[in-house]
Chains A and B, each alone.
Chain A
């Protein structure tokens, strides 16, 4: 649906240029919710704003729904933009118009006949659950309600793509969840492709299918949200995931002195798992199968979209050979096993 090739964006003059995006390549599939996460200044907004040409790329091409949008003349670009909805962190509703007329605005721009447009606005109000607020002015709405109006407005011309630039960053966690749920519903009901930018991993976790991690103007990692969560490939991704999933083992566990049990060797391992079948059943099978003992020191289970994923920190005790076999057994079942510590090392290896 969206194909970004070799996109580079440089701001400023030649003496003082800021490279906001460097050679970005990205393919966003039809009907998916695609997240873009990165720290402040990473280039997220620049990237999403290039998709509807609010920002002109310095180099590279962007194809949206088969149309190369960099080469369009002004009139054609305006038409294409009608089919790319956008929502914003600060909502950007017109204070001079009530809710109804705010949603009417894009329909006026698209020259939709008045009667038809009114009907459409009513439908959209219904969709976002604000039918009772039609005649209210934005000033009277809460942040979440404002964003609902923003979403309704962005959907008015039946876009193929919805761009969301930190649409939940100004909202509290509960409101964020309800807005994300709305976006998910829209994605399912309308088959709309959604590109959303955030610096909050929770947002990605809650509703994205795939995610791109952007750091220092480049995409450092792209993939399924689940894969990146369970196996982040770059320090940037890792730090984002750690920000919400505590994969770090508490100090006192790593520094346990008593990792020596009656002469038997022991290993501190972290087992990461994804999906329903994973996790504890496999571990208990392992314990039945191999003559070793396991001590669960620390665990964390979370859900990404609808799939559980988590990690357990285990202390495995028994003969070293059996411990190794047991670990291979876990790996065979698709669990990721990482050795954290050997007995007596006190964590400073």
Chain B
């Protein structure tokens, strides 16, 4: 299996982290940056695709503005199927696709592909839940004013659900931090790679623990930012 060989042949890939005698804080900083970068871009990508899917899911449901039970059912099933796929399996299954898109299957840029793929169905369901909370009366009011479906989506659904959508972004990003560490074990880069190849494989326990602490800090940071952004929006509306 060439993929596995490629993953194991990590010598060149690992140099930025710890060459022979690299400076540990620098390596941790670099790996943290990679994690944040991966999580940021994959969150972005998963929303770019997951959000429209969520809108289709909600609006195609029974009694909604773009009612289409068949489409709704098919899309729902695909999303459910995708969500039931364990990430580790997806990571391996996605290798050919990743290589086709990025040209390689290792490294941070390559990781963004499976991370986004894993997050898209999750995001679709998460945003769907946010959108479903909107009172049908608001949509009806917009319809009574002669709003088009697109105007309803853009001016009612999304703005009204915004605080809840923002909290969902934080949840997604936090999940992706965890996933990115898993991807790191398969050569995805970031803190996962650092912890696994140095902390674990080379018995540098300290590095492993430092990584854990940094991951906790990142997760906390995302949650605080998400809460703050959401409550800013809510407070503005009070």
Taking Cβ atoms with an 8 Å cutoff, the residues of A that contact B are: 52, 54, 77-82, 84-86, 88, 90, 92-97, 105-106, 108-110, 137, 139-140, 153, 157, 163
CB-nearest residue of chain B relative to A53? B143
Contact of A109 among B147, B159, B236, B238 (CB under 8 A): B147
* Alpha-carbon distance between A105 and B139 when the two chains are bound, in angstroms: 13
Chain A interface helix/strand/loop/mixed: mixed
Q: Is B21 an interface residue (CB 8 A)?
A: no
* Alpha-carbon distance between A54 and B63 when the two chains are bound, in angstroms: 11
CB distance from B233 to the nearest CB of A (A): 8
A94–B144 touching, CB < 8 Å: no
Chain B residues near A106: list those with CB within 8 A. Answer: 145-146
Q: A94-B160, A96-B237, A140-B238 are in contact. Are A78 and B137 (CB under 8 A)?
A: no
* Alpha-carbon distance between A108 and B154 when the two chains are bound, in angstroms: 12
Chain A residues near B135: list those with CB within 8 A. Answer: 90, 92
A92–B160 touching, CB < 8 Å: no
**How many chain B residues touch the partner (CB < 8 A)?**
21
CB distance from B76 to the nearest CB of A (A): 22
B237–A88 touching, CB < 8 Å: no
Q: Is B162 an interface residue (CB 8 A)?
A: yes
Q: Is B10 an interface residue (CB 8 A)?
A: no
Contact of B140 among A80, A92, A157 (CB under 8 A): A92
Contact of B145 among A93, A95, A97, A105 (CB under 8 A): A105
Given contact pairs A82-B145, A85-B144, enumerate 15 new A-B contacts (beta carbons under 8 Å): A54-B140, A77-B146, A80-B146, A92-B135, A92-B137, A94-B138, A94-B156, A94-B159, A96-B237, A105-B142, A105-B155, A106-B145, A109-B148, A140-B238, A153-B145
CB distance from B112 to the nearest CB of A (A): 31
Name 14 interchain pairs, CB-CB below 8 A, sorted by A. Answer: A52-B144, A81-B145, A84-B144, A86-B144, A88-B140, A92-B138, A95-B237, A105-B142, A105-B145, A105-B155, A109-B142, A137-B238, A139-B238, A140-B238
Chain B residues near A86: list those with CB within 8 A. Answer: 141, 144-145
* Alpha-carbon distance between A60 and B151 when the two chains are bound, in angstroms: 30
* Alpha-carbon distance between A85 and B151 when the two chains are bound, in angstroms: 18
* Alpha-carbon distance between A90 and B136 when the two chains are bound, in angstroms: 11
* Alpha-carbon distance between A77 and B141 when the two chains are bound, in angstroms: 15
Chain B residues near A85: list those with CB within 8 A. Answer: 144
Chain B residues near A96: list those with CB within 8 A. Answer: 159-160, 162, 237
A78–B238 touching, CB < 8 Å: no
CB distance from A237 to the nearest CB of B (A): 29
* Alpha-carbon distance between A93 and B135 when the two chains are bound, in angstroms: 10
- Determine which residue in A82, A88, A92, A97 has the highest number of CB atoms from chain B within 10 A of its CB, and name it: A92
B159–A78 touching, CB < 8 Å: no
* Alpha-carbon distance between A54 and B140 when the two chains are bound, in angstroms: 7
Taking Cβ atoms with an 8 Å cutoff, the residues of B that contact A are: 135, 137-138, 140-148, 151, 155-156, 159-160, 162, 236-238
CB distance from B18 to the nearest CB of A (A): 49
A82–B159 touching, CB < 8 Å: no
CB-nearest residue of chain B relative to A77? B146
A88–B148 touching, CB < 8 Å: no
Chain B residues near A139: list those with CB within 8 A. Answer: 237-238
CB distance from B156 to the nearest CB of A (A): 7
B145–A109 touching, CB < 8 Å: yes
CB-nearest residue of chain A relative to B144? A86
* Alpha-carbon distance between A105 and B237 when the two chains are bound, in angstroms: 16
- Determine which residue in B135, B138, B238 has the highest number of CB atoms from chain A within 10 A of its CB, and name it: B138
* Alpha-carbon distance between A55 and B137 when the two chains are bound, in angstroms: 13
B138–A108 touching, CB < 8 Å: no
* Alpha-carbon distance between A157 and B135 when the two chains are bound, in angstroms: 24
B146–A92 touching, CB < 8 Å: no
Chain A residues near B236: list those with CB within 8 A. Answer: 137
List of 4 A-B pairs having minimum Cβ-Cβ separation, nearest first: A96-B159, A81-B146, A92-B141, A78-B146
* Alpha-carbon distance between A163 and B144 when the two chains are bound, in angstroms: 10
Q: A86-B141, A105-B155, A137-B237 are in contact. Are A95 and B146 (CB under 8 A)?
A: no
Chain B residues near A109: list those with CB within 8 A. Answer: 142, 145-148, 151
Contact of A88 among B141, B155, B159, B238 (CB under 8 A): B141
A82–B143 touching, CB < 8 Å: no
- Determine which residue in B137, B144, B162 has the highest number of CB atoms from chain A within 10 A of its CB, and name it: B144
A54–B144 touching, CB < 8 Å: yes
* Alpha-carbon distance between A109 and B137 when the two chains are bound, in angstroms: 17
B140–A79 touching, CB < 8 Å: no
* Alpha-carbon distance between A291 and B135 when the two chains are bound, in angstroms: 69
A81–B143 touching, CB < 8 Å: yes
Chain B residues near A78: list those with CB within 8 A. Answer: 146-148
A54–B159 touching, CB < 8 Å: no
CB distance from B226 to the nearest CB of A (A): 18
Chain A residues near B142: list those with CB within 8 A. Answer: 105, 109
CB distance from B150 to the nearest CB of A (A): 11
Chain A residues near B141: list those with CB within 8 A. Answer: 86, 88, 92-93
CB distance from A276 to the nearest CB of B (A): 41
* Alpha-carbon distance between A85 and B146 when the two chains are bound, in angstroms: 10
